[in-house]
Structure 1
Amino acid sequence: MGAQDLLRVLGLQAEMRAPLGRICVAEGLITEAQLRRALALQFGVPAIDLGQDPPDPALTGALDPVYCLTHGLLPWRVEDGTTVIATSAPERFDDRLAELPEHLAPVRMAVASAADVQAAVARLHGPALARRAEQRVPDAESCRHWSQPTPERRAVTLAILLSALGCLLLVPGLFFGALFLWAALTLALATGMKAVAFAARIAAPRRPGPTPPKLPDRPPVISILVPLLDEGEILPALIARLRRLDYPRASLDVVLILEEKDRKTRAALAQLTLPPWIRVVEVPDGVPRTKPRAMNYALDFCRGEIVGIYDAEDAPEPDQLIRVAARFAEAPPDVACLQGVLDYYNPHSTWIARCFTIEYASWFRVVLPGLARLGLVIPLGGTTLFFRRDALERLGGWDAHNVTEDCDLGIRLARHGYRTEMIDIVTQEEANNRLLPWIRQRSRWLKGFMLTYAVHMRRPRALFRQLGPRKFWGVQLLLLTATTQFLLAPLLWSFWAVPLGIPHPLEGPLGRDTLIWAGTAFLLTEALAVAIAVVAVRSTAHRGLVPWVPTMHLYFPIGALASYKAAYELVSAPFYWDKTAHGHSLDAERAPRGAEARGLRGEDK
């Protein structure tokens, strides 16, 4: 390292107040092994390579593995009656002495690299940490026992099914009429919620365009979790996108989460040279093999006070992390989560991709901001999420068995008094642009919504007490109406017959006036959906998709197929994660970046 490099890292240290050695490693000026030797010389203690000289197995249970990961400690050997403890943070070793169990005394330290300490803990305690990852969320808020129903739940389910079957056989008109009215009611409620959210979004005061982000005086360490599964094709593009992130490298901790049996991604990683601020955490194989389980496991290996999530196909704006750090520095402590905007970089690849882009624009640029302004629960989006780590750990992380862990976590945050804010940052993703994969992905989402609703409505009074009336009814509108609308879609489609003068099979039981009213209301809901979509799309760089908005009437009915698959799997395979394949539109990543990708944010707010 030359004099010029030294001056540069000293300047960074003055700005960041981070350890000099960490800055040098993150900037690629020295290796972890060189830092280990330098720290050993500085503190006058031995340097240990835990890969070549592993810890004594007899000390495996001497300290809790999570404590070891949190503080960079690991009992190594007993020499002459003294326990030698390897540490990657020798400057903080004295602060930990009072916390160590008495049976380890006397102790002295040796220096090991952070990567070696974590690797050794994973080798010794990986299976135990994986089991912990599966059960971090308390039983009362987890769906992990869904596949083992209680006798009471079996009895209630059987009674409902027998009652429905008897009604269908004995009085079919009443049966379908009741379903029709329920579909109409939920449609009206969902439309009302969207209308109010739309009005709140339109009435929001206009804000000036985004100002250049300002890094806090002490940039917080941000850990980014990137779950991977069979992502070999997209991995080089992912690393290139992560390199564009504009954040101090010494405060950036990107964790690629690799499943133990994912040979495809491991082979692709072996061909790449990762920068020092990107590392791999391997999750021991187990059941369920889900994204939330993997993130729970990796959470213990993070070093950040802010934890973010990206998916493998994400292309985030370079200044995202600076904006996240700045907002958390200003926000009150109860703001535990920031949700960014999701967009797509391949909207013109297929018709489904166009519709998917329109749908996401409506959701992230109109409906969610409106719900946030109304003070309702925000169902999280799965990626471009950032959490205060202490709040995330207090809640137990993610429910490892829930296939929409993001939506579930959004509700749990609200239940425990935390708030989620929408933040004006954009991540571009790859739209699922093929029919069958789209159905599989949507069925997973709908199955997760059903599971999430069932879990949180186990004790409705407790949920009402924790959320309050506004948020409680908001959850009903969000989850109950979403699943109902897809499941009863064929009944809703029959509304089209009424304005066209076609006889309706329910005209006798319900009366023609009721059907005319319902058909008119259905047309109004379609008009509102078109208005929301047009406003949303016009606020993005995808204005050319406006002519495609009317075709959304053909897009959403596909979700009915996904809902029936979801309902079947809710019983047969509730924790099955139907993986979405990525990397089919890498050549289409030509979407604008920065302020242009954010759209007319200063004009439409």
Structure 2
Amino acid sequence: MKIMQVQYIDLNQIQTLLKVINVEYQSYLPKWAMIYIAATGTIASLLAAVELAIFVSPMNSTNKYNVDDLKKKLSYYPLVSIILPSYKEGDLLKRALKSINEQTYPHNKIEVILAVEKDDNTIDKALDIVGLSNCKENCCSSSMGDIKTKIVYGKGNGKPSALNEALKCVEGEIIGVLDADDILTKNAIITAVSYLVNQDIDAIQLPREVILDKESKKTFKGAHIRAQEAEMFLYTKLLAPVMEKLSGISWVMGSGYFVKKDVLNKLGGWEEKAATEDLDLSIRMIASGYKIKVISESPVYTEPVRNYSQLITQKERWVRGMLLLVPKVLRHPRKSWPLLSIYLMPIAEYATILWPIMAPYALKYAIIAFFIEFLIGFASYYTIYKRVGKTIRPLPIILAIYGITSWIALAKLVIGRAHEWKGTRLTKGIKVSKK
């Protein structure tokens, strides 16, 4: 029979070991941490400084025409195909179709393609409006007055997939993308077409504005809705014009844009794995030498996201899409360098928020670096507030939501859900505003 020997833990040895580890930790990590803080702090501050420089740059004025001028400048009216993807948004879809039917552009030169899903039970009335109630196959056609209509059934793989299915049925020279929650102003199509036909431009982004009801304009409850208005206002009225003046490039943003069909065909349509198909298309267009322009007239009004959980879903997908596109942006820095200040911001946030964790012995330096970055960021906010007024006030709310969703996006990238597509809206909780 063997007698088991009990081994006692020598506390003195453990204390000696911890002292050695502590000495090694202090001798190595602070140096490494200082380099980390200096590098990430410099990058974050430079990105913030670039944004500040953009905000203080002179505005780029846009040439404006009235409808009669636009018609005179058009030598011909190309067929325009409006792709309208929708899922569980029947009431909103009817409103979008009404706005198309009120266009000043010749109706016999407009084609509407509804990209829907077969399990969507909210669109029956909308299908009646466009005469597609009995259509069960892709590219089946009918009409809404003089406007030709078609239907395409998606495969449940998200908006980019639905857009590509619709692209197979397109007959027009110019393709417009409109979401079900959008409303076109009556001169929207003729304005976009006039730029595409008369100027050396391959895609036009109409300005987007949020529909605000009385409750959203004043109440604390509507602050996140006003923040969405501030975000769109910032891009279309300030950021896009200045970036275009500095670099000659802009990008399309989700909906309300028009692009030449031959350009889309050469690029292979929309990237179906992209979490943000609009930004992906923009990067590929810029890399291929195509020109995108954001204009200031004929806005597209869009329904705000009223539910916080849906807003987080939307912004998380946008951030994840930007992170996935960073390699593509870096691949063409000479052409897409202005986008770096926006696309790299989430990465700068990840880096700087780790300062206290990575540098416990250099915390005061991390605080100084953070303070410098914060001051530049605050200066940017104050500058745009002075330039555009109270519209921009709620912007910090949307920036805080982006901060939260940045970490959700990172988690999805880590666990293998990088290309997940989840629509922003659900039928429940949607309140349709009239414009």
Q: TM-score, normalised by structure 1?
A: 0.58
Equivalent residue for 1:368, pick from 216, 237, 240: 240
Pair 421,524 (structure 1): closer, same or farther in 2 beyond 3 Å: same
Partner Cα separation in structure 2 for residue 447 and residue 169 of structure 1: 36
Equivalent residue for 1:324, pick from 177, 192, 215: 192
Equivalent residue for 2:412, pick from 558, 569, 575: 569
Ranges in structure 1 where 5+ consecutive residues have no aligned partner: 1-166, 495-503, 591-605
State the AA in 2 paired with 1:480.
Answer: L
Preserved CA contact (<8 Å) 1:339 1:386: yes
Instruction: Tell me how many residue pairs correspond in the alignment.
Output: 387
Q: What CA deviation, in whole Å up to 9, does each residue of 1:60-85 have, x standing for no partner?
A: xxxxxxxxxxxxxxxxxxxxxxxxxx
Corresponding residue number in structure 1 for 2:151? 281
Corresponding residue number in structure 2 for 1:552? 395
Preserved CA contact (<8 Å) 1:377 1:411: no
Secondary structure at the counterpart of residue 257 of structure 1: strand
Preserved CA contact (<8 Å) 1:234 1:582: no
Partner Cα separation in structure 2 for residue 361 and residue 510 of structure 1: 38
Preserved CA contact (<8 Å) 1:362 1:533: no
Corresponding residue number in structure 2 for 1:524? 376
State the AA in 1 paired with 2:238.
Answer: V
Partner Cα separation in structure 1 for residue 25 and residue 212 of structure 2: 46
Shift of 1:178: 5.7
Partner Cα separation in structure 2 for residue 299 and residue 505 of structure 1: 49
Secondary structure at the counterpart of residue 234 of structure 1: helix
Corresponding residue number in structure 2 for 1:509? 362
Corresponding residue number in structure 1 for 2:202? 336
Pair 263,511 (structure 1): closer, same or farther in 2 beyond 3 Å: closer
State the AA in 2 paired with 1:187.
Answer: A
Preserved CA contact (<8 Å) 1:359 1:533: no
Equivalent residue for 2:171, pick from 303, 315, 318: 303
Partner Cα separation in structure 1 for residue 30 and residue 113 of structure 2: 57
State the AA in 2 paired with 1:346.
Answer: L
Counterparts of 1:439-588 in structure 2 under 5 Å? 439-455=312-328, 457=330, 460=331, 463-464=332-333, 469=334, 471-481=335-345, 483-487=346-350, 490=353, 508-509=361-362, 511-512=364-365, 515-516=367-368, 518-536=370-388, 538=389, 545=391, 549=393, 551-570=394-413, 571-581=415-425, 586=431, 588=433
Equivalent residue for 1:214, pick from 70, 90, 93: 70
Corresponding residue number in structure 2 for 1:389? 261
Preserved CA contact (<8 Å) 1:453 1:480: yes
Counterparts of 1:136-147 in structure 2 under 5 Å? none
Counterparts of 1:88-107 in structure 2 under 5 Å? none
Corresponding residue number in structure 1 for 2:55? 198
Secondary structure at the counterpart of residue 421 of structure 1: strand
Q: TM-score, normalised by structure 2?
A: 0.79
Preserved CA contact (<8 Å) 1:258 1:265: no
Partner Cα separation in structure 1 for residue 31 and residue 327 of structure 2: 27
How many percent of aligned residue pairs carry the same amino acid?
A: 20
Partner Cα separation in structure 2 for residue 562 and residue 359 of structure 1: 16
Shift of 1:417: 1.3
Corresponding residue number in structure 2 for 1:69? none
Partner Cα separation in structure 2 for residue 417 and residue 207 of structure 1: 22
1:380 aligns with 2:225: no
State the AA in 2 paired with 1:318.
Answer: K
Shift of 1:237: 1.8
Preserved CA contact (<8 Å) 1:200 1:373: no
Preserved CA contact (<8 Å) 1:403 1:445: yes
Partner Cα separation in structure 1 for residue 409 and residue 26 of structure 2: 25
Ranges in structure 2 where 5+ consecutive residues have no aligned partner: 1-23, 132-143, 217-221
Structure with the larger RCO, 1 or 2 (CA within 8 Å, 6+ apart): 2
Shift of 1:172: 6.3
Question: What is the root-mean-square deviation in Å for CA atoms of aligned residues?
Answer: 3.2
Secondary structure at the counterpart of residue 589 of structure 1: coil
Pair 268,359 (structure 1): closer, same or farther in 2 beyond 3 Å: same
Counterparts of 1:234-245 in structure 2 under 5 Å? 234-245=92-103
Pair 520,170 (structure 1): closer, same or farther in 2 beyond 3 Å: closer
Preserved CA contact (<8 Å) 2:329 2:339: no
